[in-house]
Chains A and B, each alone.
Chain A
Amino acid sequence: MKPVSLVGVFAHFDELMEALQKVKEKKPERLVVYSPVPHHKLEEILEPKPSPVRYFALAGALTGLFGGFGLAIWSSLKWGLITGGKPIVSIPPFIVVGFELTILFGALATLVGLILTHQFPAYKIPGTYDARFSVDRFGLAVRVSQEQRNEFEAILKSAGAEEVHVR
């Protein structure tokens, strides 16, 4: 039997949370919460561990730092032209180079990280999505087997879902 997707549409956050608690205990195949705003409670329940994006940021920043100094020093040694009686490798100005590239690569890496960690851009809008989720409604979508279907439907309803759709 093919599994089905249920989505409950909630008007209130507390109702959503209640439903979420119950549903989570039942361990459905898949569980997605749609929300117009971020909220730390959701994260606590669904995504306890911090986002891997930070690793990207760090890696990028370091690349920039070493890349910046490296380029500046290597390229000035290449010809060794004296300007203004200053040493060929004059660190103070190179600090700026290093710094700027640190920021640049850090930021770009973070972007890449964000895109990779959550298969951006994912243009396919799943059936369980609802335009109101970007306005003032919360959505709780689960994927369950046919036999569990009624059970979950009941949970959502009881928690206070305005509507429950089967997709």
Chain B
Amino acid sequence: MKTTDLTYSEVNSLVLRMLEPPRKAYFGILFFLLSVVGIGVTAWAYQIFRGMGVTGLNNPVGWGVYITDFVFWVGIAHSGTLISAILYLFRARWRTSIYRSAEAMTVFAVLTAGLFPLIHLGRVWLFYWLFPYPNQRFLWPNFRSPLILDVLAVSTYLTVSSVFFFIGLLPDIAAARDQATGWRKKVYAVLSLGWKGTHRLWHHYGAAYLFFAALATPLVISVHSVVSWDFALSIIPGWHSTIFAPYFVAGAIHSGLAMVLTILIPLRKIFKVEKLITLDNLEAMAKMIILTGLIVGYAYATEFFIAWYSGNQYEYEIFRWRATGDYAAEYWIMVVFNSLIPLLFFVKRIRRSVAWLFALGILINIGMWFERYVIIVTSLAHDFLPYAWGHYKPSLVEFAITLGSFGWFFLLFFSFAKFLPAISIAETKELLPLPVKRGGKRG
């Protein structure tokens, strides 16, 4: 059955049922995720007290898994804003049921990504020097540094997407408030800011929401462009490239959509909301993944072509080496998983099979992680001066912290899904026909 066959009250009950007090299994998973986070935190603490030496990093490879994770998580964040803001402006109806969770994913992914610039700092206790704040030394950050631009972009992105997320939640929290009892009611009451759905409120709310969407749209494009400039503004062969911004944005959305699939498919199953998050929604995303997959594949090809066409020996050498050198395995994982596997979605049967969607979603995520890994590590390991060529192998600490970041992300999302409406009630209702007496069906 389709979403539009539901009634208003059914929507409410379907969504709010997700918020009912959790069962034992839920707490079990919660504990598991917490302990995973614990592992990461311990590893980080160890790294802080001993020094960055506990990683596999070295000279020449000064960046490794941490920056990879950072770019990966920022990338994940992007599809959320894409779905909630850009598709909102384009009035894409299929976004309605999924945008809330996508948006949540954005906020949590940025919260995760934001940790890595700190984790990779040699002297993390001085992280605040990266922010422009008045101090007795009269010292300011270097606004020419891509890293500062990055700090600004990511912190802006976090703020804006959180606000956007919260505002979108208001009417639904109010709905939850009206249903809930006891302490939950109190909490929701506070969070809802006393939302009452009066006509004036809806009026300003509409305007504000539109502005948020309008602001978030250019922001999301800019953020990953800036992230890509962390590399493109350097002179390292394989980094110093003008295609990086579009290439990274596409890649970000590619991985983001894949992550949405990976999260939503279990979610709709567990909470039995297949009626709301329908197969059509998922298919629509699969179609977008085909597009982004093609763009990413095109970017890979272009890189090689330019490397050859430019006649720049350093550029050429690095790409030859990527495909055939010490990191060939990682390289081919990236190519196959990101640009070939998505093509399977051309097959309608695969596109509409939940199992396939889930599996391929995960593969694409793996592929996109390796994309960043390959770009970062190979270029550094094999740049201008042959004497200084080196090799990088991640250490256990880096692995533990990466693991922890996944734990952290899913922990946040897991708690969210049980506490806040993971599907927008109000907007879903907008999809339904208005309940009218004459010529309409009974609401």
Q: Which residue of chain B is the closest to A75 with respect to CB atoms?
A: B140
Q: Which residue of chain B is the closest to A76 with respect to CB atoms?
A: B143
The answer to whether B443 touches A96 (Cβ under 8 A) is: no
The answer to whether A136 touches B12 (Cβ under 8 A) is: yes
The answer to whether A12 touches B163 (Cβ under 8 A) is: no
The answer to whether B189 touches A118 (Cβ under 8 A) is: no
Query: A104 contacts which chain B residues (CB < 8 A)?
Result: 156, 159-160
Query: B426 contacts which chain A residues (CB < 8 A)?
Result: 36-38
A125 and B194 in contact, given A96-B226, A113-B208 (Cβ under 8 angstroms): yes
A133 and B197 in contact, given A15-B437, A35-B202, A36-B8 (Cβ under 8 angstroms): yes
Q: Which residue of chain A is the closest to B427 with respect to CB atoms?
A: A37
The answer to whether A103 touches B160 (Cβ under 8 A) is: yes
Q: Which residue of chain B is the closest to A42 with respect to CB atoms?
A: B199
The answer to whether A136 touches B204 (Cβ under 8 A) is: no
The answer to whether A114 touches B437 (Cβ under 8 A) is: no
The answer to whether B207 touches A51 (Cβ under 8 A) is: yes
| Interface flag for A135 (CB, 8 Å) | yes
Checking A11, A39, A79, A118 against B443 with a beta-carbon cut-off of 8 angstroms, the contacting residue is: A11
CA distance A121 to B194 in the complex (A): 6
The answer to whether A100 touches B205 (Cβ under 8 A) is: no
CA distance A72 to B212 in the complex (A): 26
Q: Which residue of chain B is the closest to A35 with respect to CB atoms?
A: B197
| Interface flag for B222 (CB, 8 Å) | yes
| Interface flag for B196 (CB, 8 Å) | yes
| Interface flag for B270 (CB, 8 Å) | no
Query: A62 contacts which chain B residues (CB < 8 A)?
Result: none
Query: B243 contacts which chain A residues (CB < 8 A)?
Result: none
Pick from B300-308, B410-418, B428-436 the stretch touching chain A.
Answer: B428-436
Q: Which residue of chain A is the closest to B154 with respect to CB atoms?
A: A100
CA distance A84 to B216 in the complex (A): 33
The answer to whether B443 touches A110 (Cβ under 8 A) is: no
CA distance A149 to B348 in the complex (A): 62
Chain A 26-50 interface residues, beta-carbon cutoff 8 Å to B = 32-39, 42-43, 46-47, 50
Checking A47, A111, A135 against B200 with a beta-carbon cut-off of 8 angstroms, the contacting residue is: A47
The answer to whether B443 touches A100 (Cβ under 8 A) is: no
A-B contact count (CB 8 A): 201
The answer to whether A101 touches B429 (Cβ under 8 A) is: no
Pick from B170-178, B247-255, B286-294 the stretch touching chain A.
Answer: B170-178
| Interface flag for B198 (CB, 8 Å) | yes
Chain A contributes a number of interface residues (CB within 8 A of B) equal to 67
CA distance A11 to B201 in the complex (A): 21
The answer to whether A103 touches B443 (Cβ under 8 A) is: no
Query: A131 contacts which chain B residues (CB < 8 A)?
Result: 178-179
User: How near does chain B come to A118, taking the closest CB pair, in angstroms?
Assistant: 5
CA distance A6 to B430 in the complex (A): 27
What is the predominant secondary structure among interface residues of chain A facing chain B? helix
| Interface flag for A2 (CB, 8 Å) | no
The answer to whether A51 touches B204 (Cβ under 8 A) is: yes
| Interface flag for A122 (CB, 8 Å) | yes
Q: Which residue of chain A is the closest to B152 with respect to CB atoms?
A: A100
Query: A100 contacts which chain B residues (CB < 8 A)?
Result: 149, 152-153, 156, 219, 222, 226
A129 and B204 in contact, given A101-B156, A111-B163, A111-B167 (Cβ under 8 angstroms): no
A135 and B178 in contact, given A43-B199, A86-B144, A125-B196 (Cβ under 8 angstroms): yes
CA distance A113 to B429 in the complex (A): 26
A43 and B436 in contact, given A78-B138, A83-B142, A110-B212 (Cβ under 8 angstroms): no
The answer to whether B12 touches A96 (Cβ under 8 A) is: no
Query: A14 contacts which chain B residues (CB < 8 A)?
Result: 436-438, 440
| Interface flag for A106 (CB, 8 Å) | yes
CA distance A24 to B179 in the complex (A): 32
Give the interface centre of A86, A110, A117 by most chain B CB atoms within 10 Å. A110
CA distance A75 to B429 in the complex (A): 51
Contact pattern, B 184-202, Cβ under 8 Å of A = 1, otherwise 0: 0000011001101111111
Query: A61 contacts which chain B residues (CB < 8 A)?
Result: 215
The answer to whether A110 touches B199 (Cβ under 8 A) is: no
Query: B189 contacts which chain A residues (CB < 8 A)?
Result: 123
| Interface flag for B203 (CB, 8 Å) | yes
| Interface flag for B206 (CB, 8 Å) | yes
The answer to whether A108 touches B208 (Cβ under 8 A) is: no
Checking A12, A43, A84, A107 against B212 with a beta-carbon cut-off of 8 angstroms, the contacting residue is: A107
CA distance A132 to B9 in the complex (A): 9
Q: Which residue of chain A is the closest to B432 with respect to CB atoms?
A: A37
| Interface flag for B32 (CB, 8 Å) | no
Checking B193, B197, B204 against A53 with a beta-carbon cut-off of 8 angstroms, the contacting residue is: B204
CA distance A114 to B163 in the complex (A): 12
The answer to whether A54 touches B194 (Cβ under 8 A) is: no
User: How near does chain A come to B273, taking the closest CB pair, in angstroms?
Assistant: 17
Give the interface centre of A15, A93, A106, A160 by most chain B CB atoms within 10 Å. A93
Beyond A33-B199, A100-B152, 5 extra complex contacts between A and B, CB < 8 Å: A35-B202, A36-B426, A47-B199, A110-B208, A135-B8
Q: List the interface of chain B (C-beta within 8 A of A).
A: 7-9, 12, 132, 138-146, 148-149, 152-153, 156, 159-160, 163-164, 167, 171, 174-175, 177-179, 189-190, 193-194, 196-208, 211-212, 215-216, 218-219, 222, 226, 229, 426, 429-430, 434-438, 440, 442-443
4 A-B pairs with least C-beta separation: A136-B8, A75-B140, A51-B207, A121-B193
Query: Can you list 17 A-B pairs, Cβ within 8 angstroms, ordered by A?
Result: A11-B443, A12-B443, A13-B435, A76-B143, A79-B138, A79-B140, A96-B226, A100-B149, A106-B215, A111-B208, A120-B193, A120-B194, A123-B189, A123-B190, A124-B194, A129-B196, A133-B197
